[in-house]
Chains A and B, each alone.
Chain A
Amino acid sequence: MNALDIIQLIVSSSLIYAAPLILTALGGTFSERSGVVNIGLEGIMVMGAFMSAIFNIFFASTFGGWTPWLGLLAGGIIGIVFSLIHAVATINLRADHIISGTVINLAAPALGVFLTRAIFGAAQTGPLPESFGITNIFLLHRIPIIGPILFGNTSAPAFFGIVIAIISWFVLFKTTFGLRLRSVGEHPHAAETLGIKVYAMKYSGVMLSGLLGGMGGAIQAQAISNEFGILTIAGQGFIAMAAMIFGKWNPIGVMGAAIFFGFGQSLARIGTYIPIIQDIPSILLLIMPYLLTIIVLVVVIGRSEAPAKLGETYVKTK
């Protein structure tokens, strides 16, 4: 392999592994900007992955090549449903955000595997008929030199995630919805005195995290593991939260951080092709993403400033 091929391989595989993280981390950003900690992203991803796998298996013959994209949507919808549990528990019932999220994280894999067994009689669904696969990005891959590196043989969902990141940035910082959402995470009481519906904004934030987290899970199932099982989502939800903190709750930064973690995850897969790295025992490469997460959080945490009222329950006056 020549240098160009190696770079192309690193870029595309980083993006493939980054795609689920980008969407999920953006989801976390919306939730936390509204003041609700959503540690349940892991569980939401599990449900998204499960739903998309089911959809993929049952509808592949109907929708053909469009199946994974529709599966993505199905994952997002189930994500919203699951996030509503978290929203009701934390916003209306004033539950501790961490505990409610942990409940989701415990319930989702159990439910997913239970249903998989009920439907397929096994702990895994088996391979999905239509996966995202690898694509060239329309026209852009024809740009000389950087075209093939950035846009050739790559992950379409990752570019979907990048587009969503840019839209998210615009929504958070340039629109009335974003301003109100952030005000609720920073100073809900002030927002209330100005007539902003605090609970409605928090619901929007949490539901967006459900949508994007469910989509993230759907990408993991349909682009990376190509099936659903108990190991399909193995800590990606938590890594996405790390990316959110590393990216300082700013969608563009969050996206960059997610790509960095995607690179960490891809190392185990592509390490054997890269000189220097190929000599490192594969077990070390496998734990790399988790190690990177810890290192980054130790270095960044404390310096990264969370929304002021993150994790606090808001009780309306009256």
Chain B
Amino acid sequence: MPTSERVIEMNGITKEFGSFRANDDIHLDLKKGEIHALLGENGAGKSTLMNILSGLLEPTSGEIKVKGKSVNITSPDVANELGIGMVHQHFMLVDKFTVAENIMLGREKSRFGYIDKKSAEKEVQALSDQYGLKVDPSALVENISVGMQQRVEILKTLYRGADLLIFDEPTGVLTPQEIEELIGIMHKMVNEDKSIILITHKLDEIKQVANRCTVIRRGKSIDTVDVSKTSQQELADMMVGRSVSFKVDKKPATPKEAVLKVEDLTVKSNRGFDAVKGISFEVKAGEVLGIAGVDGNGQSELIQAITGLTKSSNGSIHLDGNNITNKKPRKITETGLGHIPEDRQKYGLILPMTLEENIALQTYYQKPFSSHGFLNYKEIKQHAKRLIEEFDVRTPSEEHSAASLSGGNQQKAIIAREVDRDPALLIAAQPTRGLDVGAIEYIHSRLIEMRDNGKGVLLMSYELDEVMNVSDRIAVMYDGKIIAIVNANETNESELGLLMAGVPLKEAKEKADSKGKEKETIDSSI
């Protein structure tokens, strides 16, 4: 249980990168034995604040007090001395080293420089037993599971005697069972009088483990609240700065003629077998067609074939009446296709290039962005500035690299580029993966807006909620085929779940119905 003793006080922390304020007068205090959540959208400045606390960055101004004493945390070493340890979002582990080597690195057990491997492994084992953090000290990190890698990261901080642990979005890479385990470990640690700061944008996790929560928005601390007295909706609204709806707000669709016609399409995967097996469907103007399915049932290959990234071996694709089967990507793009790719960092952006260049990627060769082979940077910049403004891409400037943006803002930049060209069909593959509620809501509303403007939208997602919320019709893919196309307002989660597992539509309907009735009777009996 948290006590009233304050282990950390951060007052008026400001951090500037050039003219950009990542942190602007932030206040945060942490009580002993508390799990304190730090909530904010991607790019709100949470990681910057925590990097300051762990000594990787120095604040431009502000004061940090540890156990009542004012301190200057100039390096990670100093942070270690003060008992502050960080469990990084992207694990800081050397793959080629053993677990024990990773844990002791920098604080080796040694005699005259000679490493005493045995006693190091023993100490790691003892720590691991004490907190129930199961690891194998002599295993190579490259050979252990992601969950165990995270336990190694936690042990690294405990080995250095940390009594304040910062967890930076720890659950993103974990399976549900591993998340469960991690929460148990966190409770165990606060019972041993340690304190935890949990950086996250997942509201349910905050409700589940945190005592208090500090909300950060655009570099400013908004409020610190008692989690048990605050609802998820209130937390979300505070984080985004306006009232957020978890449900997508949309009018009924008014579908018109088909913009995309796929007939009997077969696509080979890059490993040589047929990943898409003779699929036919259409997307109409003014509707969102969702593609649901478990990862690896041919969805990626289908989209690659439509966008021209892969060749199809059979069948045809028509976009807006033009045959685009096996045409080059640029030709297809010019025919009227917008594409938000599944892997935004690999296919959506060229990370080292500037934001303005990235925004011009689809149109740089056209007037007015270039003439006679020369780029017109003035136009490119103006165009980028307008889109950054219109699509609310948060960046210090259009001249920053795409790599420096947060995930949500990278995605907004891609959407800006694709939507602004006003394509007849927009393909959005996994458009909200890894994003926070504010960004998700924004992206969904943009997709609906495209639809309402009479364009076709093809949405592929592995998140069932997303497909059900945004789509008008849902095509379920299983084993390279479309097993059924259903209307979004006539289906439910259990029916879709059964379809995704390969159960034929008729059977799925019956099963889902009986299950639904069961649930109703249970509900009414309560």
B92 near A195: Cβ-Cβ < 8 Å:
no
1/0 contact trace for B31-64 toward A, CB 8 Å? Answer: 0000000000000000000010010111000000
A187 near B94: Cβ-Cβ < 8 Å:
yes
Q: Given the interface contacts A177-B113, A191-B106, does A318 sit within 8 Å of B93 by beta carbon?
A: no
Chain A residue at minimal CB-CB distance from B160: A194
Option from A174, A186, A193, A195 in Cβ contact (under 8 Å) with B95: A186
1/0 contact trace for B109-136 toward A, CB 8 Å? Answer: 0100111000000000000000000000
Q: Which residues of A contact B178 (CB under 8 A)?
A: none
B56 near A193: Cβ-Cβ < 8 Å:
yes
Interface check B86, CB cutoff 8 A = yes
Option from B96, B105, B110, B114 in Cβ contact (under 8 Å) with A194: B105
Interface check B77, CB cutoff 8 A = yes
1/0 contact trace for B143-186 toward A, CB 8 Å? Answer: 00000000000001000000000000000000000000000000
Tell me the residues in window 164-210 of chain A with beta carbons closer than 8 Å to chain B beta carbons: 174-177, 179-180, 182-183, 186-187, 189-196
B468 to chain A minimum Cβ distance, whole angstroms, is 40
Most buried by B among A193, A196, A318: A193
B86 near A193: Cβ-Cβ < 8 Å:
yes
A186 near B96: Cβ-Cβ < 8 Å:
yes
A317 near B51: Cβ-Cβ < 8 Å:
yes
A189 near B113: Cβ-Cβ < 8 Å:
no
Interface check A297, CB cutoff 8 A = no
Option from A183, A190, A308, A318 in Cβ contact (under 8 Å) with B57: A318
A262 to chain B minimum Cβ distance, whole angstroms, is 29
Q: Which residues of A contact B88 (CB under 8 A)?
A: 193
Option from B54, B105, B115 in Cβ contact (under 8 Å) with A196: B105
User: In the complex the two chains form, what is the Cα distance from A196 to B75 in whole Å?
Assistant: 10
Q: Which residues of A contact B76 (CB under 8 A)?
A: 192-195
A176 near B77: Cβ-Cβ < 8 Å:
no
- A-B contacts counted at CB < 8 A amount to 70
Interface check B282, CB cutoff 8 A = no
B80 near A176: Cβ-Cβ < 8 Å:
no
User: In the complex the two chains form, what is the Cα distance from A191 to B110 in whole Å?
Assistant: 18
A118 to chain B minimum Cβ distance, whole angstroms, is 44
User: In the complex the two chains form, what is the Cα distance from A191 to B94 in whole Å?
Assistant: 9
Q: Which residues of B contact A192 (CB under 8 A)?
A: 56, 76
A312 to chain B minimum Cβ distance, whole angstroms, is 13
Chain A residue at minimal CB-CB distance from B79: A195
Chain B residue at minimal CB-CB distance from A305: B96
Chain A residue at minimal CB-CB distance from B93: A190
Q: Interface majority SS on A: helix, strand, loop or mixed?
A: helix
Interface check B472, CB cutoff 8 A = no
Chain B residue at minimal CB-CB distance from A192: B76
Q: Given the interface contacts A317-B56, A318-B56, does A176 sit within 8 Å of B75 by beta carbon?
A: no
B105 near A183: Cβ-Cβ < 8 Å:
yes
Chain B residue at minimal CB-CB distance from A316: B56
B110 to chain A minimum Cβ distance, whole angstroms, is 5
User: In the complex the two chains form, what is the Cα distance from A183 to B105 in whole Å?
Assistant: 8
User: In the complex the two chains form, what is the Cα distance from A195 to B156 in whole Å?
Assistant: 12
A195 near B110: Cβ-Cβ < 8 Å:
no
Q: Which residues of B contact A191 (CB under 8 A)?
A: 94, 105-106
User: In the complex the two chains form, what is the Cα distance from A186 to B115 in whole Å?
Assistant: 19
A195 to chain B minimum Cβ distance, whole angstroms, is 4
Interface check B97, CB cutoff 8 A = yes
Tell me the residues in window 64-78 of chain B with beta carbons closer than 8 Å to chain A beta carbons: 75-77
Chain A residue at minimal CB-CB distance from B110: A176
User: In the complex the two chains form, what is the Cα distance from A195 to B104 in whole Å?
Assistant: 12
User: In the complex the two chains form, what is the Cα distance from A176 to B57 in whole Å?
Assistant: 26
Chain A residue at minimal CB-CB distance from B107: A194
Q: Which residues of B contact A179 (CB under 8 A)?
A: 97, 101, 105, 108, 115
A176 to chain B minimum Cβ distance, whole angstroms, is 4
Q: Which residues of A contact B92 (CB under 8 A)?
A: 187, 189-190, 193-194
A-B contact pairs, 15 of them (CB 8 A): A177-B113, A179-B97, A179-B101, A180-B106, A182-B96, A183-B94, A186-B96, A189-B92, A191-B106, A194-B92, A194-B107, A194-B156, A195-B77, A318-B57, A318-B58
B-side residues, CB < 8 A to A, are 51, 54, 56-58, 75-77, 80, 86, 88, 92-97, 101-102, 105-108, 110, 113-115, 156
A-side residues, CB < 8 A to B, are 174-177, 179-180, 182-183, 186-187, 189-196, 308, 317-318
Given contacts A180-B105, A191-B106, 4 further A-B contacts (CB under 8 A): A186-B96, A192-B56, A194-B106, A308-B95
Please name the 10 residue pairs, one residue from A and one from B, whose CB atoms are nearest each other, closest first.
A195-B77, A194-B106, A190-B92, A176-B108, A186-B94, A175-B113, A187-B94, A317-B56, A176-B110, A195-B76
